[in-house]
Amino acid sequence: MKFRSKSEGTTANIILVVIAIVIVWGYSIIFTSTIVSSNVKKSTQQKIAAISMQNEILQKTLIEKEHDIKSLHQISRLNQDAKQLLDPKPNIESASRPGVIILGMHRSGTSLIGGLINKMGLKTGGPLIQAAEDNEKGFFERIDIVLQNDYLMQKQGIGYSYQTNRFDHLKGLKDILTDSGKLFNEGRRGLKFLNDKENYPWMLKDPRLCITLRMWLPLLNFIPAILFTYRHPLDVALSMNKRETEHFRVNKGLRLWYVYNRKAIEQSNDLCRVITSHRKVMQQPKVEFDRMYEELKVCGVEVPRKLSDQEISSFIDLKLQHGRTTLKDKSCEEDLSQIYPPSTWPTDDESHIVLYREVMRAYCAMESGAAFKSNFKWDMSIVDN
């Protein structure tokens, strides 16, 4: 697995900042010495005052950058650890991972996967968000992590369903490291569980992690494995359209699907990642969960056991599916530049058709594996405003 570490670039940036400050400070001293020896007293005093002001600005800048540098140190440590953990031939100890983070867009079957991964013996801790009418088996999401993601998104003026493409994980990390109040209380509770060896191996799930993943990684004692799942974009959008608490327009749901999946893939490209899909899980659940078990073990997650056929069949309820396009759409076998939305989304709006073709291009690239390669081109103009 290829890992693109940024630790060397980060360290170099820090060194360059320090060198620049030393040079400016040196010139300030030399210039001060020169003008002090001048016979023009008034001019000298003015220049000294100007230099003093410049030095004060430099000192203030250093103070302002101090927390940013701390964040960069954290990220540098993350990259160093990641390079060691993701070495193609790691030793048993360095390859060990404390658990797995499940990434996937809302309404993509992450709860189904989370519930069965939990049955494999991976711990979630709690309290968890309770089951609801639209998710009768439960969400398997820690309340503290969900709330903390919401708080840190809100601090940047975004929410789980709007402008998530604008989330800055470095700013989020800075907000955490400079918090002197209650902003990160929920996060501290979550990290207390996740960083406790008594709770290994654990499972963490919240669709918002597709957006905030890189903010959390430096705060964990180890780099976890990633279990990424995806679902047909129209099934997701239609489910969000019908959901009582949302009723999002279908085109908005498609944009959300695009941004969440893009961010999840981009942020986990350099991690040990297991990939599945709602279609595969529904068509061959036992085969797919056995494969997840084996690949998570390869990633270093000590998954306690496999699932039995009975455990799987008792948990997967076909009537709880929200949309069935995934199981019957053959668009990936067609010319994507010529496809149109199916009858489940009747529209003749040209912008809708263009959007649908692009999200289907991304979906089909996930099906073929092309979307998980570093050279895959995403349409950055698609945002979830």
In DSSP notation, 254-305 reads HHHHHHHHHHHHHHHTTS-EEEEEHHHHHHSHHHHHHHHHHHHHHTTB----
Overall average pLDDT of the 209-224 stretch:
96
101/147 same-domain check: yes
Query: 331-375, pLDDT tens digit by residue?
Result: 999 999 999 999 999 999 999 999 999 999 999 999 999 999 999
Query: Is 30 or 378 the better-scoring residue by pLDDT?
Result: 378
Nearest to 259 by CA among 335, 160, 157, 131: 160
Map tokens 């099906």 to a residue. Answer: 367
36/128 same-domain check: no
Mean of pLDDT over the chain: 82
**Structural domains counted in the chain:** 2
Q: Is the pLDDT of residue 16 over 80?
A: no
Task: Please give the pLDDT value at position 249.
Answer: 95
Task: Tell me the two tokens of residue 199.
Answer: 């709770």
The 3-class SS string of 128-152 reads: ECCCECCECCCCCCEHHHHHHHHHH
pLDDT band at 318 (very low <50, low <70, confident <90, very high): low
Cβ proximity of 385 and 158 under 8 Å: no
Task: Tell me the two tokens of residue 4.
Answer: 């693109």
Instruction: Tell me, yes or no, whether 272 lies in a domain.
Output: yes
Instruction: Tell me, yes or no, whether 289 lies in a domain.
Output: yes
Query: 21-54, pLDDT tens digit by residue?
Result: 555 455 454 444 444 444 445 555 665 665 566 5
Query: Is 73 or 220 the better-scoring residue by pLDDT?
Result: 220
Query: Is 240 or 51 the better-scoring residue by pLDDT?
Result: 240
Q: Which residues contact 144 (CB under 8 A, 6 or more apart)?
A: 186, 187, 189, 190
Query: 59-86, pLDDT tens digit by residue?
Result: 554 454 454 445 445 444 444 444 443 3
Torsion from C-alpha of 211, 217, 218, 219, nearest 10 degrees: 100
Instruction: Tell me, yes or no, whether 191 lies in a domain.
Output: yes
Indicate the residue among 35, 60, 85 that finishes a domain: 85
Overall average pLDDT of the 257-284 stretch:
96
Spatial strand order in the sheet of 273-277: 202-205, 99-103, 225-230, 273-277
Task: Please give the pLDDT value at position 82.
Answer: 40
Nearest to 250 by CA among 263, 232, 271: 232
Instruction: Tell me, yes or no, whether 382 lies in a domain.
Output: no
Instruction: Tell me, yes or no, whether 202 lies in a domain.
Output: yes
Q: Is the pLDDT of residue 109 over 50?
A: yes
Cβ proximity of 167 and 158 under 8 Å: yes
Instruction: Tell me, yes or no, whether 45 lies in a domain.
Output: yes
CATH assignment of the domain containing 238? 3.40.50
Instruction: Tell me, yes or no, whether 1 lies in a domain.
Output: no
Render 154-187 in DSSP notation, one character per residue: HHTT-BTTBSGGG--HHHHHHHHHT--SSTTHHH
Instruction: Tell me, yes or no, whether 213 lies in a domain.
Output: yes
pLDDT band at 327 (very low <50, low <70, confident <90, very high): low
208/66 same-domain check: no
Cβ proximity of 365 and 385 under 8 Å: no
212/321 same-domain check: yes
Q: Is the pLDDT of residue 131 over 50?
A: yes
272/317 same-domain check: yes
Task: Please give the pLDDT value at position 2.
Answer: 39
124/259 same-domain check: yes
C-alpha dist (Å) from residue 359 to 71, 177, 322, 332, 356: 34, 37, 19, 11, 5
Task: Please give the pLDDT value at position 305.
Answer: 96
Percent of the chain with pLDDT over 90: 64
Query: Is 3 or 379 the better-scoring residue by pLDDT?
Result: 379
pLDDT band at 247 (very low <50, low <70, confident <90, very high): confident
45/142 same-domain check: no
Overall average pLDDT of the 289-317 stretch:
94
203/276 same-domain check: yes
322/352 same-domain check: yes
Cβ proximity of 10 and 74 under 8 Å: no
Indicate the residue among 85, 119, 153 that finishes a domain: 85
Using CB atoms within 10 A of its CB, is residue 199 exposed (0-12), middle (13-18) or buried (19+)? middle
**CB-side neighbour CA atoms (13 Å) of 193:** 20
Task: Please give the pLDDT value at position 79.
Answer: 45
239/310 same-domain check: yes
107/81 same-domain check: no
229/366 same-domain check: yes
What is the C-alpha radius of gyration for the chain, rounded to an integer number of angstroms? 25
Containing structural domain, residue 38? 7-85
Lowest mean pLDDT among 179-188, 212-221, 364-373: 179-188
Render 52-90 in DSSP notation, one character per residue: HHHHHHHHHHHHHHHHHHHHHHHHHHHHHHHHHHT-SS-
Indicate the residue among 85, 113, 145 that finishes a domain: 85
